Chain A
């Protein structure tokens, strides 16, 4: 399966409060053929996820209001959204210590900022379920 047919129209939600990061990731992923949804806060991200049910979510940790940890926790508790793969993209070192894995399933992927786009793409391909 080539890149375009793998990514065509597949929905990815980018949640990050930094406008430049949202612009970067959304442009890059759209260029790769994905249908990209964006949200600039945790609460908007949750609302967008519930409304449009993406196939994968990239999630920042440090955001005003609802943090990425709280978003991850809410996603995992929502029957509609609990199986969506989540890639944490953050500049926070050692964020893993902030999550209680006895209560929340760990994110499927984790990337440190600054972002390596090829690494992100590779991770997305691994995590997206093949289309039937």
Chain B
């Protein structure tokens, strides 16, 4: 009975932590939307088109992040059936470029998504979310280190007979060894970062849901971190 009670308490505590963490993230995103709206509104009043455009981008960016956060929470609380279809890798990469290219420049981080021809069978929306979450994590963490040294994030893909392999690499930072062990858990919040990274947990869950794997390797000496996601190229 004591053990059951302890497990129940731990579960309630962890759920509370998640709610707190997500609420904290949303506060930051709302601040960004407020800021964007202020720029749009004052830009119109002062007839400053550049300010209007900047504010509009800010609103869009934060709304997209909010959308992703809500989607991650929903993925966290509920398993979804996979909607398997043939996915064109370059099509996904084009969408990622569209989402992140300007954002990475804004953060002062170089993003390179290397072209790749090929297709594989998977849930398109889920795989897209998987990659978005990792790229967002890498860019956000690099943003912090970018002031000290130039940082770059690279996404590439390769295929063999049975698998498609996504390689996401950065020379901007290295995850500490002890953190690496729980970075794919639901409560990982990097020190000094104002938001949680539920996204990595969800990406890992999506990879497992496809009978794939997601691993992190790093080198503290070289200051590099690499995520490798392997997914089956077809499902029986």
Contact = CB atoms under 8 A, between A and B. Distances in A.
> Main secondary structure on chain A at its contact with chain B?
loop
B213 to A, nearest CB: 30
Contacts of B191: 64
A18 B31 contact: yes
B77 interface: no
B interface, how many residues as a size bin?
A: 20 to 34
A20 B192 contact: no
A3 B24 CA distance: 33
Contact of B32 (A18, A92, A93): A18
B192 A114 contact: no
A132 to B, nearest CB: 32
B144 A24 contact: no
A64 B24 contact: no
A28 B58 contact: no
A115 B58 contact: no
A104 interface: no
Given A20-B31, A113-B27, A114-B31, A63 B36 contact: no
Nearest to B148: A65
Interface string B93-109: 00000000000001100
Nearest to B108: A19
B38 A28 contact: yes
Interface in B76-103: none
A115 B34 CA distance: 8
B42 interface: yes
A50 to B, nearest CB: 18
Given A27-B51, A113-B28, A62 B34 contact: no
A125 B162 CA distance: 66
B28 A31 contact: no
A64 B36 contact: no
Contact of B34 (A24, A40, A91, A92): A24
B25 to A, nearest CB: 9
A44 B148 CA distance: 11
B31 A115 contact: yes
A18 B192 contact: no
A62 B192 contact: yes
Sorted nearest first, the 4 A-B pairs with minimum C-beta distance are A24-B35, A64-B192, A20-B32, A64-B144
11 contacts: A18-B31, A27-B42, A40-B147, A62-B193, A63-B194, A64-B144, A64-B193, A113-B27, A114-B27, A114-B34, A115-B31
Given A19-B107, A23-B54, 11 more contacts: A18-B28, A18-B194, A19-B106, A24-B34, A27-B38, A27-B51, A64-B191, A91-B31, A92-B24, A112-B27, A113-B28
